[in-house]
Chains A and B, each alone.
Chain A
Amino acid sequence: MGADPSPSPLALWERGARGVRVLLLFLLCLPLPAPAQPAEPAPTITIGSKNFAESRLLGELFAQLLEARTDLRVERSFGLAGTQVCFEALKSGAIDLYPEYTGTGLVSILGREPGGGSPGETLVRVRREFLQRWDLHWLAPLGFENAYEIAVPQALAEARGLRTLSDLVPIAGDLTAGFGYEFVERGDGLPGLREVYGLDFARVQTLQQALKYQAAGAGQVDALDVYTTDGRLLTYALRVLEDDRGFFPPYQAVPLVRGETLRQHPEVGAVLALLADALEEATMRQLNYRLQEGQESEATVARDALRALGLIAGGKVLNEEPPAEGFLPYLWQQRSTLGTRTLEHLGLTAVALGCGILLAVPLGLLLERRRTVAEPVIRAVGLLQTVPSLALLAFMVPLLGIGVLPALVALWLYSLFPILRNSYTGVRDADPLAVESAVALGMTPGQILRQIRLPLATPVILAGIRTAGVLTVGTATLAAFIGAGGLGEPIITGLQLGDHRRILAGAIPAALLALGLDALLGAVERALRPRGLKG
């Protein structure tokens, strides 16, 4: 451990800043500020990335370069859940820039037909439209394309003589495909392939990027969508099929930046221009490989790349220590990061749950007095619960941008139902005989609620809070998809990089947190149970 340069207090403070802010919010307990950054001495810009390795790496490249060459403070909001979340975050100003691909901009964002057009023409088209419609700027391309391609296992390619996508068409009816979530939906993905090539697979399995390669390696899928620059093409025995009908549009990688950011901080445009044409496909594949298979951090890989380009001299001080062998040493090595993540996670859970209690308990008591509307209201809140949690988080992005606030709102909405239902039924069903005699002896409805129903309902209400708490700890792992941090961060990064240790490093503390919260709330429940009640 001697080589480990211990992080400075300042760095710790910065890393802990998000958790601290969340806790502060909890203490103030609303009103929450707008998603804008709190006032800070140095102007800050926020860089986003999507939830796959190359996007994170490019985001980190931008970040380190801007940190080295400007006075700006850089916040990283990496691993956002897909194109839509990233784009909405950029439009709303929650992030200032992120790496995007021209083909994706054309097809997924502008909704144009795929196919046709050279890389240059595609870039001009997206530039013009993005500028007119949203004041968003595509800067100079980074020099490589990361196109969608279809790959098949080498053995299958040789056995069936597959070289082009057209070769695949006649036998696709016998094959199982493993495709990414976005690819299955996008116009420049599977739907377009069906239309243009008539490609119909026997089965299509939707898989996380990293898992697709493992599934192909294990012979569980026969075809998968890959990115041109994916480092895993170097390790897995796959053959990339030629797009002989020119279906896939060009996907040049380009920094996509808000016009407002460029005007306020002209240096951003100037510095990022240093990366114009700087990265080749082979280079990117190597860099991605180090990230995906070499288990190196994006910070290290990005710094090396910038040094190799001669764009930074020293780079920032990094933890040079290679990932420790074995799971427990790895956890120990990651303790400070995991501590911060746990703090963030706790903060998210505590604020969401606290606000949930503040709304749902009084609402439950109110509904007990307005029983005719109680069922409809509870059913409506219950409907919120049926919205998949990731979808609820994604809904928040157009409204509130990305980061802690939309995650808190989504988690808060999610926590309401168990608390509301238990509060309502708890006070409604409180010992009917005791309530009846209290009425008959002349207690007012308010006295009955405060002195009888509420104390008797306490164990039931707390049981609801307990359910909501455990639920919130679990759901909060998804908050990382919209850049809110927490223990979901290592889980999602691990998923994107196919790194099981990283997944466990997030999942195990999250599970322990859930168990701990359950035990704590259980103890509170016992402590607050009114004396004289059995059990």
Chain B
Amino acid sequence: MLEAHQVSKYFPGKGDADGVTALDAVDLTVAAGETVALIGESGSGKTTLLRLFNRMTTPTTGTVRVEGQDVAGLDPIPLRRRLGYVQQEGGLIPHWTVRRNVELVPRLLGWSRERRRDRGAEVLDLMGLQASDYGERYPSELSGGQRQRVALARAVAADPPVILLDEPFGALDALTRRALQQSFQALQRRLGKTLLLVTHDLDEALLLADRVGVMQGGKLLQLAAPEALLAAPGDPYVASLLEMRRGGFRPSIPPSLGERTVAGTPGSHPGLPKGTLKGGERAR
């Protein structure tokens, strides 16, 4: 579905400043219906990699494909309209109502008014917001969590097969983040989208993704299912990342999430010993 083949991205420096290699010969494939999370520090290249797929960035070398098509030959505008996108802090358009924000892509695609309305209400409902309550509000009248729900609803409104998520929960407080992650999981189970998720939160990556890619310095160090990653970190950096996680800095996951994991969604409970995660059982 999403495919990056030997992509490198080099930003030339200005004046005397050195250039920056943001991506270094990265290979990545995301299968249809799969969720891949990219994790790494700021500047590791994970966001750059994500932005290749909707042509917000073009690679210096290498090929990027979406649904088998080389994006270099595609008009970026229609391409972007068939890829959902959510960013940190939502990026809602502040002078538009929730409804108008959610209807953004359907409107661009020329859907009829009724169809837009119905779909908008439907996706808001999916994200736990009543269109009748929230539709006419402005983003500034919502909480951070609600804004992010609207952003997610907006990303799925035109029913894109692929959604790109750039730290979608990064700006939220821990409790809101957990609640939203749950909603998101529920949504994913229902819609079965292909997801590429960038995050700096290892727990989130382990919870939501079928496979987790660890990035550092523009390289994809390891790409593996959560349990495989936990069992056998293939790189000293990955190992140290996992080590840090066990250090107990993370807030504990509320009990409700534990119930959900029992119900068939292996998450990443910090208390769980290695090897108890069964990625293969993950609901789609």
Contacts and interface: CB of A to CB of B under 8 A. Distances in A.
B272 interface: no
B80 A440 contact: yes
B108 A434 contact: no
A456 interface: yes
A532 B105 contact: no
Nearest to B51: A440
Interface in B71-86: 76-81, 83, 85-86
B93 interface: yes
Interface stretch (B36-44, B94-102, B225-233): B94-102
B105 A437 contact: no
A436 to B, nearest CB: 6
Contacts of A444: 77
B96 A532 contact: yes
A87 B193 CA distance: 80
A533 B97 CA distance: 11
A276 interface: no
A441 B81 contact: yes
A113 interface: no
Given A443-B108, A533-B140, A433 B56 contact: no
B78 A442 contact: yes
B204 to A, nearest CB: 20
B147 to A, nearest CB: 11
Given A442-B105, A443-B108, A436 B140 contact: no
Given A441-B105, A443-B108, A455 B95 contact: yes
B108 A433 contact: no
Interface residues of B, number: 32
A533 B80 contact: no
Contacts, number: 74
Given A440-B80, A441-B81, A532-B97, A434 B91 contact: yes
Given A433-B87, A532-B138, A442 B108 contact: yes
B95 A456 contact: yes
A508 to B, nearest CB: 40
B94 A533 contact: yes
B138 to A, nearest CB: 3
A322 interface: no
A434 B92 contact: yes
Given A441-B154, A442-B77, A433 B90 contact: yes
A117 interface: no
A532 B139 contact: yes
Contact of B104 (A436, A441, A534): A441
B89 interface: yes
B58 interface: no
Contacts of A431: 93-94
Contacts of A443: 77, 104, 108
Size bin of chain A's contact surface: 20 to 34
Contact of A532 (B77, B78, B80, B140): B140
A160 interface: no
Contacts of A441: 80-81, 85, 104-105, 108, 154-155
A532 B136 CA distance: 10
A380 interface: no
Contacts of B90: 433, 437
A532 B89 CA distance: 16
A267 to B, nearest CB: 67
B54 interface: yes
Contacts of B86: 437
B77 A533 contact: no
B91 A442 contact: no
Contacts of A452: 93
A441 B155 CA distance: 8
A439 interface: yes
Task: Select the residue from A431, A440, A447 with max chain B CB neighbours within 10 A.
Answer: A440
A531 interface: yes
Contacts of A532: 94-97, 138-141
B89 A433 contact: yes
Contact of B94 (A434, A440, A442, A447): A434
Contacts of A442: 76-81, 105, 108
A237 interface: no
A236 B33 CA distance: 99
B168 to A, nearest CB: 11
Nearest to A452: B93
Contacts of A455: 95
A356 to B, nearest CB: 26
B99 to A, nearest CB: 12
Interface in B128-153: 138-141, 151
A530 interface: yes
B92 A437 contact: yes
A253 B95 CA distance: 68
Contacts of B96: 532
Contacts of B77: 442-444
Interface string B120-134: 000000000000000
Nearest to A455: B95
A440 B95 contact: no
A228 to B, nearest CB: 67
Interface in A421-442: 431, 433-434, 436-442
B170 to A, nearest CB: 12
Given A444-B77, A531-B138, A532-B140, A438 B93 contact: yes
Contacts of B92: 434, 437
A530 B95 contact: yes
A442 B104 CA distance: 9
A436 B91 contact: yes
Given A441-B104, A531-B138, A532-B97, A433 B81 contact: no
Given A456-B94, A532-B97, A440 B85 contact: yes
A531 B138 CA distance: 8
A198 B236 CA distance: 90
Contacts of B164: 440
Contacts of A439: 56, 80
Contacts of B93: 431, 434, 437-438, 452
Interface in A400-439: 431, 433-434, 436-439
Contact of B95 (A433, A436, A447, A531): A531
A431 B89 CA distance: 12
17 contacts: A431-B94, A433-B87, A433-B90, A434-B94, A436-B91, A437-B86, A437-B91, A440-B56, A440-B80, A441-B104, A441-B154, A441-B155, A442-B80, A444-B77, A447-B108, A532-B94, A532-B97
Given A433-B89, A441-B105, A443-B104, 10 more contacts: A433-B87, A434-B91, A437-B91, A439-B56, A440-B54, A440-B85, A441-B85, A442-B108, A531-B138, A532-B96
Interface of A: 431, 433-434, 436-444, 447, 452, 455-456, 530-534
Interface of B: 54, 56, 76-81, 83, 85-87, 89-97, 104-105, 108, 138-141, 151, 154-155, 164
Question: Which are the 4 A-B pairs with shortest beta-carbon distances?
Answer: A437-B91, A532-B138, A442-B81, A530-B95
